[in-house]
Amino acid sequence: MKTKKKAVVSKKVVKKKLGKQASTAKKVVRTEEEISLEGMGDNRKKKIRELVLRGMSQGHVTQDEILLLFPDAENYVEELDNLYDELLIKEIDVFESVADNEGETGEKEVSDLEKELEVLAALDSRAISDPVRMYLREIGRIPLLTRDQEIELAQKTEAGDLKAKDKLTSSNLRLVVSIAKKYIGRGMSFLDLIQEGNKGLIRAVEKYQWKKGFKFSTYATWWIRQAITRAIADQARTIRIPVHMVETINKLIRISRKLMQTLGREPLPEEIAEIMEITPDKVREILKISQKTTSLETPIGDDEDSYLGDFIEDTKQATPYELTTQRLLRENIEEVLSGLSDRESKVLEMRFGLRGAKPMTLEEVGREFGVTRERIRQIEAKALRKLKHPSKRRMLQDYLD
């Protein structure tokens, strides 16, 4: 099938929209461009500048070139938005490959998706389930839209037509599937990824500005990716972190990277706190929250016959020596108490919790025996005098040393 590159941003539309404000807008974007490079490595900064210069030279860049610079897009949401604005202001077109016959592409796209999913299913039977196949067949019946139909539906959606909004959304559901399949294995099921991507698609429909000349699929791709990556960051962790805290963590990481480049060392919490305008204790708290969980079943070594849990001491677990000592102590206590009467033995056991029970007050023990607390005190005193006999005391003396 022949393909051609189709401009996502129309130069005529850009010129008409910006007009005399273009020079002012460029100044604003240059300022934002400086912000957008904060927290990035020198290599990424260099590649972004090269991309913009190449776009100015040839008049266009491709969407894949942009996404290649931001594989971890969820950490650079604001920076990506600023980059797209910069390309728009500089009249740099963003191209993507589309087929001449869009209807034919739509039908083949579903077929191609099914083939890819079959391969994934062969590799991991858990990745693709029957509900996914049913969903694919269902959305495959929905025809794709032409460019003119997209604009018409976008205009009606802007005017508040809910049916037009639903049609624009449903006609792009297969786009969500094609993007979601790239995130399989990130801690969320395929159906959950599709669901989160659909949320991004709905938001793209609501915010789509057809007058700017963007092709809807290109515009929606960003919103879908953003929704999926945000969901992974929010839900894929063993310990859930709220979205607002994820954004705070990402901000802290960007500032920390920038300080590391400036200082040539790991920044102190106090230095990070000064820039973020929060307390050092808050920085330490955020750093603690951002720690990733590690499974105790993580293999250690090349042979993978040892696990992380084998090398971590359980400080709450008694050592073999302590367990042996406790067992001998219980045996000696039983032997010592055997020289007392049943009542005396029971009173001491209840008063001091000798057999693992909770220590009880004189009044509580008295209620158990149906006597006064004074009588229990007398029984206790008599029993303790017997235990002070040298023959009894020697048996327990070693445990007191």
Domain extent, residue 361, equals 322-400
* Least confident segment among 20-29, 41-50, 54-63: 20-29
Indicate if 285 and 328 belong to the same structural domain: no
Q: What is the pLDDT of residues 112-149, one digit of tens each?
A: 655 555 555 544 445 555 787 788 878 878 888 888 88
How far is it, in rounded angstroms, from Cα 220 to Cα 253?
28
How far is it, in rounded angstroms, from Cα 307 to Cα 87?
50
CATH code where residue 380 lies: 1.10.10.10
In the chain, the number of structural domains is: 4
User: Does residue 46 lie in a domain region?
Assistant: yes
How far is it, in rounded angstroms, from Cα 27 to Cα 89?
10
User: Does residue 82 lie in a domain region?
Assistant: yes
Indicate if 72 and 6 belong to the same structural domain: yes
Indicate if 231 and 192 belong to the same structural domain: yes
Indicate if 226 and 254 belong to the same structural domain: no
| pLDDT computed for residue 67 by the predictor | 67
Indicate if 144 and 82 belong to the same structural domain: no
Indicate if 156 and 174 belong to the same structural domain: yes
User: Does residue 266 lie in a domain region?
Assistant: yes
Half-sphere exposure of 254 (CA within 13 A, CB side): 21
Read off the tokens for 373: 């607390």
Section 325-347 average pLDDT: 80
Rounded alpha-carbon distances, angstroms, from residue 362 to 344, 357, 375, 380, 388: 13, 15, 9, 9, 21
Indicate if 139 and 175 belong to the same structural domain: yes
Indicate if 166 and 140 belong to the same structural domain: yes
Annotate 149-216 with three-state secondary structure. Answer: HHHHHHHHHHCCCHHHHHHHHHCCHHHHHHHHHHHCCCCCCHHHHHHHHHHHHHHHHHHCCHHHCCCH
* Least confident segment among 91-100, 133-142, 189-198, 353-362: 91-100
- pTM of the shown model: 0.44
User: Does residue 338 lie in a domain region?
Assistant: yes
Section 241-251 average pLDDT: 72
Asked whether the predicted pLDDT for residue 83 surpasses 80, the reply is no
CATH code where residue 144 lies: 1.20.120.1810
